[in-house]
Amino acid sequence: MPLTTGPIGGSAAWVGEDMATQLDWIVAFTPAELTEIDAAIEAHHRAGRAMGEITPETFRLPTLARRLSKVLDDLLEGRGFVLMRGFDVSARSVEDAAIAYLGIGSHLGGFRSQNARGHLLGHVNDLGFDIRNPKVRYYQTNKELEFHTDSCDVVGLLCLKTARAGGGSRIVSSVALHDRMLAETPDLCRALYNPMPTDRRGEVPPGMLPWFEIPVFNWHAGRLSTIYSGQYIRSAQVNFPEARRLSAIEHAALDRLDALASELSLQMDFQPGDMQFIHNHQILHSRTDFEDWPEPEKRRHLLRLWLSPKQARDLPPVFAQRYGDITPGNRGGIVVQDTVLRFTLEPA
C-alpha cells in the first residue's frame, strides 16, 4: 500500500487537550432555525409522508440548510466533527425527534443501512445482550467501546436520554494518531498500512468471507482514510483460524494505536437533544461504559445515522470489501442477502 512521505498535519490533526478549551465545535441552533425545524416536521405530517420519503427537498430548512452546508464542509475538509445543541427532545415525541433528526441528516448525506436488518435509523442502547455472542455488537450493551470507525462516511448521534452515570462520547483524530506514531514509532505506523483481517460479526454480504482485509491507514488521492475496529481485528484472530495471522509487530501497532487514542482523545458528555456528527475517515470514536437507570422509560437512548454525502472523498478500491460500491453518495452501510431497508422507532 502507498505510504505517506511525512506528517499530514492540517486542521484535521487536532488533539483533545486543545479542543477541550476551544469549544467552537459546539454549534447552537438559533430560535429561527428551531422554528424552521418545527415547520418542516408539521409539513411532513400534513403531507402524510413516510420516514423513507424524507429528503432535503421534502424537509425544507431555508436558513438552517445554509449552515448545514458549512457544517458538512467542516466535517469533510476541516476538523471532522461538530456538536449541534439546543434541540428540545423533551417537548417532542420520539417520532417527531426522529423526523427532525432524519430531516437534518438528509441535508448532510444519504441514509445507509446500519445492520443486516436494514435499519436506516439506528438505536444505541443496552439491550442486555451477551457480548460473548459473536453476532452481538458492542453498542447493544452497556460496555465501554474501544476506539473504532463505522462503515460509512459520516456518523451521527442524537441523544434522547442519558444514562444514570457514564456513557461519555470520546473521539480522536486518526490523522493526529498517524502523525504521532510516524514520529515516535515509524515501524509500528508502517505496520498499520498492512491489510488486517476484521470480523464482520456475522453480517456477511453475499459472496464475501466472514471477515474483510483492509489496512487501518490508507493513503489515497492525497488523503489519509482510516478504518479501524481493534476488537474485531482481534476477534477475527480467534474466530477464524483460516484468516491471516498477525505478526508481533502488527499486534504491537494495534496496542500502541489504542493507547495513543485514549491519550489524544476528546470526551464530550451529551445533553438530551445534542446532535453529534463525525467524519468517519478521519475520526475514531468510542464510549465509556455506563450505569443505566432501573426504570425502562428513563434508560439511555441515542438515535444513530450513517450518511453518505455526494461531496465525500475518493476512497481506495480496497474499501469495496466493506463498503460495496465506493461511489460517493452511494456507499457504506451493511447489506446482506434478504436485507430490507427500513426505519423503526423501536430499539431491536
What percentage of the chain exceeds 90 in pLDDT?
76
Is residue 297 assigned to a domain? Answer: yes
Q: C-alpha cell of 166?
A: 457514564
The total domain count for the chain is 1
Closest CA to 285 of 147, 140, 91, 159: 147
Q: Can you give the pLDDT at residue 168? A: 83
pLDDT in tens, 2-53: 788 789 999 999 999 999 999 999 999 999 999 999 999 999 999 999 999 9
| Cα–Cα distance measured from residue 87 to residue 157, given in angstroms and rounded to the nearest whole number | 13
What percentage of the chain exceeds 70 in pLDDT?
92
**How wide is the angle at C-alpha 54 spanned by C-alphas 30 and 315, nearest 5°?**
90
Please report the DSSP string for 170-226 in residue order: EEEEHHHHHHHHHHH-HHHHHHTTSEEEEE-TT---TT--SEEEEESEEEETTEEEE
Is residue 193 assigned to a domain? Answer: yes
Q: Is 117 exposed, middle or buried (0-12, 13-18, 19+ CB in 10 A)?
A: middle
Is residue 4 assigned to a domain? Answer: no
Confidence of residue 287 (pLDDT cuts 50, 70, 90): confident
pTM given for the model: 0.92
Is residue 15 assigned to a domain? Answer: no
Is residue 18 assigned to a domain? Answer: no
Is residue 305 assigned to a domain? Answer: yes
142 pLDDT above the threshold of 70: no
DSSP structural state of residue 163? -
Is residue 46 assigned to a domain? Answer: yes
| Cα–Cα distance measured from residue 278 to residue 74, given in angstroms and rounded to the nearest whole number | 10
pLDDT in tens, 117-139: 889 999 887 555 444 555 545 55
69 pLDDT above the threshold of 70: yes
Provide the CATH number for the domain around residue 263.
3.60.130.10
Q: Can you give the pLDDT at residue 234? A: 97
Q: Can you give the pLDDT at residue 111? A: 96
Q: Can you give the pLDDT at residue 162? A: 85
Q: Can you give the pLDDT at residue 313? A: 97
233 pLDDT above the threshold of 80: yes
Report, as an integer, the average pLDDT of 211-239. 97
What CA–CA distances, in Å, run from 267 to 4, 141, 260, 279?
29, 20, 14, 16
Q: Is 94 exposed, middle or buried (0-12, 13-18, 19+ CB in 10 A)?
A: middle
CB burial string 65-91: b at 16+ within 10 A, e below? eebbeebbebbbebbbbbbbbbbebee
Give me the half-sphere count of Cα atoms (radius 13 Å) on the Cβ side of residue 213: 12
Q: Is 99 exposed, middle or buried (0-12, 13-18, 19+ CB in 10 A)?
A: buried
What CA–CA distances, in Å, run from 93 to 58, 88, 98, 261, 264?
20, 10, 9, 37, 37
Q: Which domain holds residue 146?
A: 24-323
Is residue 342 assigned to a domain? Answer: no
Report, as an integer, the average pLDDT of 206-215. 95
| Cα–Cα distance measured from residue 142 to residue 9, given in angstroms and rounded to the nearest whole number | 35
Whole-number average pLDDT of the chain: 91
Lowest-confidence region among 123-132, 155-164, 271-280, 328-337: 123-132
| Cα–Cα distance measured from residue 318 to residue 333, given in angstroms and rounded to the nearest whole number | 15
